[in-house]
A = this chain, B = another copy of it.
Amino acid sequence: MEQVKNKQIVLKHYVNGFPKESHMLINDSATINLKLPEGSNAVLVKNLYLSCDPYMRGRMSESKESYVDSFTPGSPITGYGVAKVIDSGHSNFKKGDLVWGGTGWEEYSIINAPETLFKIEHTDVPLSYYTGILGMPGMTAYAGFYEICAPEKGEYVFVSAASGAVGQLVGQFAKLSGCYVVGSAGTKEKVDLLKNKFGYDEAFNYKEEQDLDATLKRYFPNGIDIYFENVGGKMLEAVLSNMRVNGRISACGMISQYNLEQGDGVRNLFHIITKSIRMQGFIVTQYYHLYPKYMEMIIPLIKQGKICYIEDTVEELESAPAALVGLFSGRNVGKQVVVVARE
């Protein structure tokens, strides 16, 4: 019996409005046995990298038939992460394996449904990438852009929250597909990244624009074929006015709406009819069967330097609450990762 300390980040209670660090606490008193009980089918992991993702906001609220369960107040927050197997009761995993998937915001976790974990095969790339480009956000960009938008060469693509964990990839995928792509973000630094690092043809800071409809008309005088929707609300309204006939909207997220009591009303949905627009929401887990196909595409692109990925990394589990909260004010630049341990 090797009992060790197991620091945890715990949700204190359900959240209304913007989440704050004070909604979470650090539990320093928990311990864990680093050996699974005899006969367990679970996997015990040491958490290395934890992922901060906007969808987690929904889990901080009391569930209203959402697609993911709410967090349990008093228990550690759960989310995606990269981890190392310490002990395994499941035949697919053995001690020393690296995995990514659902884990806890703590130093060590027991994964009771290890079949949901992905075993990490490629270790000649940064391991943290499995919280981003090689993990859930990567699959989100891939499924949402290629599967849902079905891009064609020469099409006009707009991406909101374009420097985020997903958006930075969508822009690069759009360029690889021969599209013209414009992104929006909330700081000058991010706008510069979009243009200089991710290859966006144009980019703008939405916070500096008075009239988003006019802004989009300026960047898309011929209209938008594909909108990769990450923000919702007023941006969606402006986009609808600028969509082209047979346009496609991949509805991935609506981060501008998550902390509002009452969502912004979108008043011009009739464009969906008059322009024969297809708006498709999706949950990335429905596309995980395509993960091997995605890996075949993305690993060579990374190794050949044809695609890049920016992470915003904070050290120590204690930094996780601030990192998560920061997503909703756009403090992160690129994929927000928390390093719990490097090995």
**A266 touches B (CB below 8 Å):** yes
List chain B residues, Cβ under 8 A from A254: 269-270, 273
Q: Does A340 contact B (CB under 8 A)?
A: no
Closest 6 CB pairs of A and B: A265-B265, A272-B281, A263-B267, A273-B281, A279-B279, A67-B274
A268 CB-CB contact with B under 8 Å:
yes
| A–B Cβ pairs within 8 angstroms, 16 of them | A58-B274, A236-B269, A251-B269, A251-B273, A254-B269, A257-B270, A263-B267, A263-B269, A264-B265, A264-B267, A272-B280, A273-B281, A275-B281, A276-B281, A278-B278, A279-B279
- State whether B276 touches A283 (Cβ < 8 A): yes
Q: Please, which residues of chain B bring their CB within 8 A of the CB of A279?
A: 272, 278-280
Counting CB contacts under 8 A, is A66 at the interface?
Answer: yes
Q: Per-residue CB proximity of A163-186 to B under 8 Å, as 1/0?
A: 000000000000000000000000
CB within 8 Å of B: which of A107-121?
Answer: none
Partner of A280 from the list B263, B270, B278 (CB cut-off 8 Å) is: B278
Encoded as 1 (CB less than 8 Å from any B CB) or 0, chain A from 245 to 288 comes to 10000011110011000111111111111111111111100100
Q: A67 contacts which of B236, B245, B282 (Cβ < 8 Å)? A: B245
